[in-house]
Structure 1
Amino acid sequence: MPGTGGARPSRNGNGAVTRSTLRQQIADALRDEVLAGRLQPGQEFTVKEIADQYGVSATPVREALVDLSAQGLLDAVQHRGFQVHEYSLDDYREMIEARSMVVDGIFRAEKEHDRGPRAATILTSVRRRGEEARRAATAGDLTILIGYDLRFWRELSELFGNPYLADFLHRLRVQAWVCAVQHLRRLPDLRGHLWAGHTELVEALARGDAKAAHELVIGYNHHCLALVERLAAE
């Protein structure tokens, strides 16, 4: 099954693929299709079409599509199936604003956060994700960048030990990428256009420099918004 987010199917004692795993695998694969821009905003499809595409039954497909609808990536169309949600430029602006407020709160909390062995382990992993994201951004490889960027921010959010906050921020970032992709794919060459400051941000956090981290995130949000606004205007 295609997609960067899906795991291999787990199996129960009888060797059958569990439905819950299949449901998640299909949801991950479709999310990757949307993030890659292969499923376009407004594009419609039915449960049967997706089930036939992946060679599975309708039940886990329907459950996966409902999950993606709850995440704001799909819309249910009465008597017709589902369609990819269409985000506007105003939606993107509000996502950036919300994202900025959440991350800003995280960095304020970081000033009083006690570092320990767990934090050092997370930072090591985040640094690796950041290096991969930086390389992908520099090369203009949007698909690879999105995957590493989402993992980077997910793990960075976990540094502060609030799983609800991490889940919220991850969902917001997925939505922001879905909105941005439709514009970014218009550029034939993305080299030099994508933000590549992930490792700088990790180093700022590692040395406890919340001010520098805050400024990097402000620059990141400004860069993303300015680029999408320019492409939308064109």
Structure 2
Amino acid sequence: MRASGAVTRSTLRQQIADALRDEVLAGRLQPGREFTVKQIAEQYGVSATPVREALFDLSAQGLLESDQHRGFRVHEFTVADYRAMVEARTLVMDGVIRGVFQGPPPSPAQQARYRDALVSVRRRAEEAARAARGGDLDILIGYDLRFWRELGALAGNIYISDFLHRLRVQAWVFAVPYLRGDADVRDWLWNGHADIVAAITLRDRDALRTAVADYNNHALSWADRLAAGNPAHPGHTAPPAAPDEPGADERRRS
């Protein structure tokens, strides 16, 4: 009976953490938003203990900040933080690529597991790319996170997979407030997932490096845009053109 209770509490703790992470990724919990254990416990109708544990879990993942006197706050990532995430991801992926192509040949059993895993990764890639092209941010985030988590698992190292997943979640937490209000959002949603899967399937190291470099360069170009103040603040689009500005009439009609 005691073991069953422990499992239930652990599951509840994870469910609360997942629900709050989804709230942050959806933009409903904005960066800087403060709340207490009591508020979250009342919101979900649960006791304080699993809530407190869930909030500390999210703090350990870098998504929340804890304050002994004021409770918790959604972490505010900066453009510099985002650039550092891209740099870290680049270094790790470069190591993964070297390990995959320079390691010993996989056994027949490993090859079979690899092929099965690629089937799932390919599906995630197709759905993520479709959502990106359509500008559907909510669907894209879910498939993109699954894509990179499963792709990281192909390396056969759970620590690499978990690290890449954490970086991707943090990157989305930073990006979502900007993308939600950006009229040009489809231009800044990378959709090259299928290129990465194709390169891995063909074991084409050069094509894989090119696809990953395109992904990272796309992210850094977007960071340059944010650093230049366009959009200036999360959720803000550029101001409308003045009546005498070239192209103003066309934009109003579109």
TM-score (norm 1): 0.90
| 1:227 shift after superposition | 1.8
| 1:131 shift after superposition | 0.5
Matched, 1:152 2:147: yes
CA distance, structure 2, for counterparts of residue 166 and residue 34 of structure 1:
22
| Equivalent residue number for residue 20 of structure 1 | 10
Contact 1:27/1:64 (8 A) holds in 2: yes
| 1:191 shift after superposition | 2.6
Structure 1 unaligned segments of length 5 or more: list them: 1-11
Matched, 1:169 2:159: no
CA distance, structure 2, for counterparts of residue 161 and residue 58 of structure 1:
37
Matched, 1:218 2:213: yes
| Structure 2 counterpart of 1:227, from 222, 227, 233 | 222
Structure 2 unaligned segments of length 5 or more: list them: 231-254
CA distance, structure 2, for counterparts of residue 229 and residue 56 of structure 1:
43
CA distance, structure 2, for counterparts of residue 222 and residue 181 of structure 1:
19
| 1:193 shift after superposition | 2.8
| Structure 1 counterpart of 2:83, from 75, 79, 93 | 93
CA RMSD of aligned residues (A): 1.7
TM-score (norm 2): 0.83
Secondary structure of the structure 1 residue equivalent to 2:188: coil
Identical-residue share of aligned pairs (%): 64
| 1:69 shift after superposition | 0.2
CA distance, structure 2, for counterparts of residue 124 and residue 48 of structure 1:
44
| Equivalent residue number for residue 139 of structure 1 | 134
Deviations 1:48-91 (A, max 9, x none): 11111111111100000000000000000121110000111100
CA distance, structure 2, for counterparts of residue 104 and residue 26 of structure 1:
34
How many residues align? The count is 222
Map 1:55-66 to 2 at 5 A. Answer: 55-66=45-56
Larger radius of gyration: 2
| Equivalent residue number for residue 181 of structure 2 | 186
| Structure 2 counterpart of 1:117, from 102, 112, 118 | 112
| Structure 2 counterpart of 1:209, from 190, 204, 207 | 204
- Greater CA deviation, 152-161 or 190-199? 190-199
Contact 1:107/1:210 (8 A) holds in 2: yes
| 1:92 shift after superposition | 0.5
Secondary structure of the structure 1 residue equivalent to 2:186: coil
**Paired residue type of 2:206:** K
**Paired residue type of 2:185:** L
| Equivalent residue number for residue 239 of structure 2 | none
| Structure 1 counterpart of 2:122, from 124, 127, 130 | 127
CA distance, structure 1, for counterparts of residue 222 and residue 84 of structure 2:
15
Contact 2:79/2:226 (8 A) holds in 1: no
CA distance, structure 2, for counterparts of residue 193 and residue 90 of structure 1:
18
